[in-house]
Structure 1
Amino acid sequence: EILRPQDRVKVYILDVRNTPKGPRISVSRTHPELVKRLFESEVAEVRDGTVEIKSISREAGSRTKMAVYSHDPDVDAVGACVGMNGNRVNAVVNELGGEKIDIVNWDENPALFIENALSPSQVVSVIVDPDEKTAKVVVPDYQLSLAIGKEGQNARLAARLTGYKIDIKSETQAKDAFGFRMEDYMNDDEEYEEGEYYEEGEYAEDGEYEEGAEYAEEEMTSEAAEETAAEAVEEEPVEEPAEETAAEDADIEAPAGDQE
């Protein structure tokens, strides 16, 4: 920032000390708490405690991420901070010299919180390890650059905001990663297209399905047996009816009676 004489600015007081030369006040314009105090002055819901600012991560002069939570189910925390037509958040942005501010919903579920923190990027799935404070995030291929941000800024701010080390991969990178299991990254109601993913060992090296090959042999054997049975039926001699045989015998005996 470039400050000139007689400029009016708001600062955050870091420390007040008594020195031999008199009281010394340390102030900051880059501290994350400055953003919190500015929202307290602009947003009545933050000031009275209805909306709580849970955490803030900031790169001063560039971008800030802020997580908010509403203690009143009828109050939208993000909407209260943004204000009508963005007038509340714009007042803070102007005070900070045009610094971008992302306001997201805080959630006690770390996976949902991390998903919100990576806004505006879309997220396919999040796998969290609370003990190690790590998270594996999968995003659509076309959203990878947006999730990481310019020079990694979006991912870096999201990690500071949530307190988790975040590993972001695209769907293609995740499938190629060692130890990747598709079922860990999908919901129970989702289905994969045929040929998209296969369990290890399901297909033989030559591309033929082994169990299917055995089934095909059995099927061919049964079909061959049916064809053989059909040929046997066609070759069996057909017996003449008994009535026709008796009639022929009668025709033969008739001339002998006439001679007598």
Structure 2
Amino acid sequence: MSSEILAVLEYMEKEKGIGRADMIAAIVNAIKTAAQKGVNSGQELKIEINPKNGHLKAWSLLKVVDSVSNPKTEIHIEKAQALAPNAQLGEILEKEIDPSMLGRIAAQTARQAVMQKLRQFEKDRIYDDFKDMVGNIVTGTVRRKERGDIYIDLGKAEAVLSNKEQVPGEEYQAGDRIRCLLLAIEATPRGPEIILSRGSPKFVRRLFELEVTEIADGTVKIEAFAREAGYRTKIAVTSTDPKVDPVGACVGARGARVKTIVRELNGEKIDIINYFPNPQQMIIEALKPAIPRDIQLDEKNHRIALKVDPENLAIAIGRKGQNARLTSRLIGWRLDIEEYKVATADPRAIAIDSLTKNLGLAREIAERLVNIGMNSPAVLESVDLEDLIEAGFSEQEAQDVLSRVNK
């Protein structure tokens, strides 16, 4: 049995990372509990396992008395002194017993208890190993796919990339290497479950922190972030150092930094812009190359209504409204985009204004004249008194109009 125990101790220490002392404590407790329920029921036992050679020793703990009422827990003083000459009444004597006396059923029960304890050790170890990695990027190997979820081997544990945390359009096969964000560790009846994500905005944010040293050291700060996984990401950045261009730092020389991130995201588009606290400045920056022509801010309802030229409308809204949604999330205001229409001149209004300005006519008289086609002083020069009276003007009104024309 010693060789079996030693083999278990060495395997668990090397392959599972479970400490030898913890394993020995678990095996001892399991054997003791199982033995006390079997043929050794009612006895107090002491069990030790040598960590070097796996040798197991067992003792029965007996109280030294002068009158034995329970032979499983007590020993007479004379027998005790025969085993240990210095034994005294009331002391606990450790009487060594043959480990095989613990019983076959005890051994089987102990084996089950040990396996249960091992599983608990593994669960605790997985949690301890990964609890401080939440929010970091991990690399693993795709093992299998079940009901849309991808199971990934991280070396020390298996993790799951659920369907909702995947990026639309991405496909992986068994054996593929994959990078993901360690999103969370959830407690389940089967133990801790490691949840991964590639669709979370935090995944892209962490990629920028790893790729852009200025973000890692705090020189450049990501102030706002919005993402539609697999399609487009928008980030707004600032710099604490006036000598550092935050957008340029994120893009990198010849776009090297952002290209690395885009490759990891399988071609997902990334827009990097300067951040402004003023939402009106921010909307102008976020919608480039589309240029808003008219911006109205509703501070109370946190809404922005803006108009863009017809040729820029599709750019501002984006495919299936994607650009507008991302811009709205980036700024934190609801966005209403309309087509900008240039106001066309009203010829009737121009004619009325001309008559009132050039002839000094009352606006009501000018409107009546325009309504019957007399829309300029030149036309009125060929009109006589009777024409105006027939058109519905009084004689006094007609005379006033003609006198102003003649002047």
Q: Secondary structure at the match of 1:68?
A: strand
Cα deviation, residue 124, structure 1: 2.1
Give the C-alpha shift of residue 19 in structure 1: 3.1
**Which amino acid in structure 1 is aligned with residue 237 of structure 2?**
V
The answer to whether structure 1 residue 127 and structure 2 residue 296 are counterparts is yes
Supply the AA of the counterpart residue of 2:210: S
- How far off is 1:171 after superposition? 1.5
- Structure 2 residue 71 is the aligned partner of structure 1 residue 71: no
CA distance in 2, matches of 1:125, 1:79: 29
Unaligned 5+ runs, structure 2: 1-169, 362-376, 378-399
Report the equivalent of 1:16: 185
The equivalent of 1:215 in structure 2 is 360
CA-CA distance at 1:224 after TM superposition: 5.5
SS in 2 for 1:27: strand
- Indicate whether 1:150 and 2:319 are aligned: yes
Q: Distance in 1 between matches of 2:250 and 2:176?
A: 27
Whole-Å Cα distance in 2 between the matches of residues 163 and 18 of structure 1? 34
Q: Is the contact made by 1:121 and 1:147 (CA closer than 8 Å) also made in structure 2?
A: yes
My pick for the range that moved more, 19-28 or 73-82, is 19-28
Q: Equivalents in 1 of 2:274, 2:233: separation in Å?
A: 14
Could you tell me which amino acid in structure 2 is paired with residue 71 of structure 1?
T
CA contact (8 A) 2:224 2:237 kept: yes
Larger deviation, residues 83-92 vs 109-118: 109-118
Inter-partner Cα distance in structure 1 for 2:299 and 2:209: 31
User: Which of these residues, 215, 238, 250, is aligned with residue 81 of structure 1?
Assistant: 250
Q: TM-score, normalised by structure 1?
A: 0.69
Larger Rg: 2
Computed over aligned residues only, the root mean square deviation of the Cα atoms, in angstroms, reads: 2.7
Contact in 1 for aligned 2:303/2:333 (Cα 8 Å): yes
Deviations 1:123-153 (A, max 9, x none): 2232212221100112122111111111111
2:199 match: 30
Give the one of 300, 320, 333 matched to 1:164. Answer: 333
Query: Counterpart of 1:208 in structure 2: which amino acid?
Result: I
Question: Counterpart of 1:4 in structure 2: which amino acid?
Answer: Q
Instruction: Give the drift of 1:67.
Output: 1.2
How far, CA to CA, are the matches of 2:218 and 2:345 in structure 1? 50
Distance 1:153 1:127 in 2: 21
Q: Contact between 1:104 and 1:119, CA under 8 Å: does it hold in 2?
A: no
Aligned counterparts of 1:150 and 1:67: Cα–Cα separation in 2: 21
Cα deviation 1:149-177 (Å, max 9, x = unaligned): 111111111111111111112221xx67x
SS of the aligned residue for 2:300 comes to coil
Paired amino acid for 1:20: P
Q: Say which SS state the counterpart of residue 234 (structure 2) adopts.
A: strand
Q: Relative CO higher for 1 or 2, CA cutoff 8 Å, sep ≥ 6?
A: 1
Instruction: Report the residue type matching 2:325 in the other structure.
Output: R
Q: Percent identity?
A: 41
User: Is the alpha carbon distance of 1:224 and 1:122 closer, same or farther for their aligned partners in structure 2, counting shifts above 3 Å?
Assistant: closer
